[in-house]
């Protein structure tokens, strides 16, 4: 068991979220599921928690109810090696009610914030040439989904 596990508070839709993540992340694994008992405030027999794993990182979903909402203050970054990966995760997470934001940020249909980030982006932004880094930043600020070819074009101006 890892020492720190992010716990995502959900208000229902747990099975739908698990289906989305299972279909999107090739190495997705459900590790354990617990259910509400008669002693708990939820509906007896409904899912209480699910621990799942993506890319070796454990997450927990707590099916806790309507008291708390997700915000962009917490997000998960998916580091992508190429445009095909960016497109795969972006399109999968924004489908069926997800929301696009700016600079590679989005919310999935359950309100979880993600950053779909090509691994080349931080490299270009840290370039020793401030003009090149600034050009990349300007280009990124105009994007929703990150387009690697446009980043490279801005870098090479």
Same domain? For 127 and 153 the reply is yes
**Beta bridge partner(s), residue 145:** none
Q: What is the pLDDT of residues 12-42, one digit of tens each?
A: 999 999 999 999 999 999 999 999 999 988 8
Place of tokens 């090739």: 26
CATH number at residue 138: 3.10.180.10
Helix axes 14-24, 83-94, angle to 10 degrees: 160
Between CA 92 and CA 25 the distance in angstroms is 10
Query: What is the count of structural domains for the chain?
Result: 2
Q: Which domain holds residue 28?
A: 1-68
Same domain? For 155 and 95 the reply is yes
Contact predicate 9/39, CB 8 Å = no
Q: What is the pLDDT of residues 56-109, one digit of tens each?
A: 999 999 999 999 999 999 999 999 999 999 999 999 999 999 999 999 999 999
């Amino acid at each position: 068991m890892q020492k720190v596990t992010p716990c995502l508070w959900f208000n229902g839709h747990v099975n739908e979220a698990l289906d989305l993540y299972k279909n999107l992340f090739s190495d997705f694994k459900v590790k354990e599921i617990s259910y509400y008992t008669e002693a708990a405030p939820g509906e007896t027999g409904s899912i209480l928690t699910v621990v799942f794993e993506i890319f070796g990182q454990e997450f927990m979903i707590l099916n806790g109810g309507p008291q708390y909402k997700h915000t962009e203050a917490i997000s998960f970054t998916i580091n992508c090696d190429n445009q095909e990966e960016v497109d795969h995760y972006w399109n999968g997470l924004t489908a069926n009610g997800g929301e696009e934001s700016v600079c590679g940020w989005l919310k999935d249909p359950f309100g979880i914030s993600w950053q779909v980030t090509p691994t080349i982006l931080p490299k270009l932004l840290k370039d020793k040439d401030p003009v090149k880094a600034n050009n990349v930043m300007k280009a990124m600020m105009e994007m929703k989904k990150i387009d690697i070819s446009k980043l490279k074009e801005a870098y090479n101006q």
